[in-house]
Amino acid sequence: MTATTNPTGRRSTPAPTAWAGWIVFASLMLIMVGAFNAIDGLTALFKDQVFVTTGAGLLVFDLTVWGWIHLLFGVAQILAGIALFGGAVWARILAVGLVIVNACAQLAFLSAYPIWSTIIIALDVLAIYALAVHGREVRY
């Protein structure tokens, strides 16, 4: 994607490529995953009997702390996903950071859910590529 000059000598913005659809996909995925994380956080805060903890579990924090972390992380993902539709640079940076954290969190669940975690990590890597390389194509 290269910028072209029009007859007046001004640089025109390049036309979006097919990657703009992947940016929209990454935005929608961030919103959806953020909603799921927020629901998990609210569930941990208000009805912690849903979660079963064992001595061999992956849960490091108290369930209340875990609930607040997931709730705040989910809200941040939703806000970043909504802001991505406007093509804001800060939203791209925040979204890439949130997706990286999500990919690292999936590594903790590789032993429990190997196929699902691998799929999510692959989608995270694709979202990072789309946001980092083609993120400016969504600007209107």
Count structural domains, the chain: 1
Structure tokens at 104: 């690292």
Taking residue 137's Cβ as centre, other Cβ atoms within 10 Å add up to 20
> Does 1 fall in a domain?
no
> Does 30 fall in a domain?
yes
For residue range 59-79, what is the model confidence (pLDDT) as tens digits?
556 777 777 888 898 899 899
> Does 84 fall in a domain?
yes
CA–CA distance, 104 with 112 (Å, rounded to integer): 15
> Does 100 fall in a domain?
yes
Q: How confident is the model at residue 4 (pLDDT cuts 50, 70, 90)?
A: low
Domain that holds residue 132: 18-138
Please name the residue ranges forming H helices in the chain.
19-46, 63-84, 89-108, 114-134
Query: What's the pLDDT at 16?
Result: 62
> Does 8 fall in a domain?
no
> Does 7 fall in a domain?
no
* H helices, E strands: number in the chain: 4, 2
For residue range 86-102, what is the model confidence (pLDDT) as tens digits?
777 888 889 899 989 98
For residue range 5-19, what is the model confidence (pLDDT) as tens digits?
556 666 666 666 666
pTM of the model: 0.70
For residue range 42-64, what is the model confidence (pLDDT) as tens digits?
887 887 666 555 555 555 567 77
CA–CA distance, 65 with 39 (Å, rounded to integer): 14
